[in-house]
Amino acid sequence: MLKGKSQAFLEMASEEAAVTMVNYYTPVTPHLRSQPVYIQYSNHRELKTDNLPNQARAQAALQAVNAVQSGGLALAGVPTADGGLPPGQSSVLRIIVENLFYPVTLEVLYQIFSKFGTVLKIITFTKNNQFQALLQYSDPVNAHYAKMALDGQNIYNACCTLRIDFSKLTSLNVKYNNDKSRDFTRLDLPSGDGQPSIDPTMAAAFGIISSPYAGAAGFAPAIGFPQAAGLSVSAVPSALGPLAITTSAMTGRLAIPGVTGIPGNSVLLVSNLNPDAITPDGLFILFGVYGDVHRVKIMFNKKENALVQMADATQSQLAMNHLNGQKLYGKVLRVTLSKHQTVQLPREGQEDQGLTKDYSNSPLHRFKKPGSKNFQNIFPPSATLHLSNIPPSITVEDLKSLFGNTGCNVKNFKFFPKDRKMALIQLGSVEEAIQALIELHNHNLGENHHLRVSFSKSTI
């Protein structure tokens, strides 16, 4: 703690833990004794403590935190260590936006709520002349934290107030991917122009009518949005701090601080790469877990940065949501929307060193078949990998050896009891799993079998 400066340094157990903490507190500033606390990365790699008097409070705080973590104390409103949640808390949230002076779209809700976990599905609708939404997370814990942090917050200053409750539904049934509804696990769904976005039985149960207002979902019927008023970006200040979402009435585009591109863009800027280890093929394999990668360009003069062009904007959002903040080859990835609308191929004769590649017609695309099961198996990076397409002659030791040779620490392994073509392998860390997926997906196992590797939601 820095005496007289109202500042402190906090060293976490790992860089991953530090990233998780900063990402968690980015959307909503935490308060201690009614004072806002701002958290950012330090240039210091390690803290050296001493026995000076001003360290006493720091040591006391550390002891209190350790007591909480070891189960000596319980924090009110926080899920228990065994993952238990109070009854009635599902992974589906019901969101009402009150005092709707500016339009709130499905994309706005996704940007806000994805800060707290993996958003699977969103349905927007109008009920009792109010703009509402149902939003499903992959985990009830994510829904719990999102409700705690966002309930009662304004999206913009003095308007668009979020009222959040747990829904009685346990899962959402989305029929179409459009501006009213979206299933981020089913990229193959039709747009269903002119069709209701919500299942009729669900709509009847909730007394819901699909939003009848054209354009962006969420126009307030009694107010209307002043399209010709020429509001500047600064005229719509946000109340959610770093998560601020501002809007230009003239263009209808959203601008998210920290996201330099335009929602709807399919090109991602990937920065803080390890230039000695990363290749276009590596980025193609990794980002291909979340969509079909069409082109990859590693910057010729700044090889820590790359552009990745996905098949569409939904896939780019999905990849950004899952991969931003992950660790790869010792570096923490930064993934944002790019200002570029497409990745340009090098001109004939232009020096490129093979840093730009076109994968538009790659046979390795996971999502090219409509209705493919891969749409149902999109999960965040995890230390456990799902393996498939394993030939009968391959043994447990063969696969353990294969992954061990990449530098991974194999913790556990098991074949699926009813199908030895598939298996789960648990590695030492998420970073190891990401690197193993890059190196071994499509690895030739012989007998015309190429190994398929993806992240698993299961553990062994």
pLDDT at 450: 95
Q: Of the candidates 326, 425, 331, 416, which has an alpha carbon nearest to the alpha carbon of residue 383?
A: 425
Task: For residue 459, name the pLDDT band (cuts at 50, 70, 90).
Answer: confident
pLDDT at 454: 95
Average pLDDT value for the chain? 77
Q: Is the pLDDT score of 313 beyond 90?
A: no
Q: Is the pLDDT score of 72 beyond 60?
A: no
Q: Is the pLDDT score of 133 beyond 50?
A: yes
Task: For residue 70, name the pLDDT band (cuts at 50, 70, 90).
Answer: very low
Q: Is the pLDDT score of 421 beyond 80?
A: yes
pLDDT at 139: 86
pLDDT at 424: 96
How many H helices and E strands in the chain? 9, 23
Q: Is the pLDDT score of 192 beyond 60?
A: yes
Average of pLDDT values for 327-356?
A: 88
pTM of the predicted protein model: 0.51
Task: For residue 114, name the pLDDT band (cuts at 50, 70, 90).
Answer: confident
Q: Do residues 298 and 355 touch, judged by C-beta distance below 8 A?
A: yes
Q: Any idea which of 2-16, 47-61, 130-144, 362-376 has the lowest mean pLDDT?
A: 47-61
pLDDT (tens digit per residue) in 213-238: 333 333 333 222 332 222 223 333 44
pLDDT at 202: 54
Higher pLDDT, 111 or 94: 94
Higher pLDDT, 353 or 212: 353
Average of pLDDT values for 240-259?
A: 36
Q: Is the pLDDT score of 331 beyond 70?
A: yes
Task: For residue 447, name the pLDDT band (cuts at 50, 70, 90).
Answer: confident
Q: Of the candidates 170, 25, 146, which has an alpha carbon nearest to the alpha carbon of residue 79?
A: 146
pLDDT at 195: 57
Q: Is the pLDDT score of 66 beyond 80?
A: no
Q: Any idea which of 35-39, 320-324, 355-359, 362-366 has the lowest mean pLDDT?
A: 35-39
Average of pLDDT values for 315-328?
A: 89
pLDDT at 53: 53
pLDDT at 226: 31
Longest dimension (CA), the chain: 70
Higher pLDDT, 378 or 430: 430
pLDDT at 259: 33
Task: For residue 135, name the pLDDT band (cuts at 50, 70, 90).
Answer: very high
Average of pLDDT values for 269-291?
A: 95
Q: Is the pLDDT score of 58 beyond 80?
A: no
pLDDT at 342: 92
Q: Of the candidates 258, 255, 215, which has an alpha carbon nearest to the alpha carbon of residue 234?
A: 255
Q: Is the pLDDT score of 249 beyond 50?
A: no
Q: Any idea which of 134-143, 171-180, 242-251, 317-326 has the lowest mean pLDDT?
A: 242-251
HSE-up (13 A, CA, CB side) for residue 268: 34
Q: Do residues 325 and 315 touch, judged by C-beta distance below 8 A?
A: no
Exposed/middle/buried for residue 351 (C-beta within 10 Å: 0-12, 13-18, 19+): exposed
> What percent of the chain shows pLDDT beyond 90?
39
pLDDT at 343: 93
Rounding to the nearest 10 degrees, give the CA dihedral for residues 257, 258, 260, 263.
-70
pLDDT at 145: 87
Higher pLDDT, 246 or 426: 426
pLDDT at 198: 55
CA distance 107 to 104: 8
For residue 45, CA distances in Å to 9, 11, 15, 149, 375 come to 11, 8, 10, 30, 40
pLDDT at 200: 56
pLDDT at 317: 82
pLDDT at 57: 60
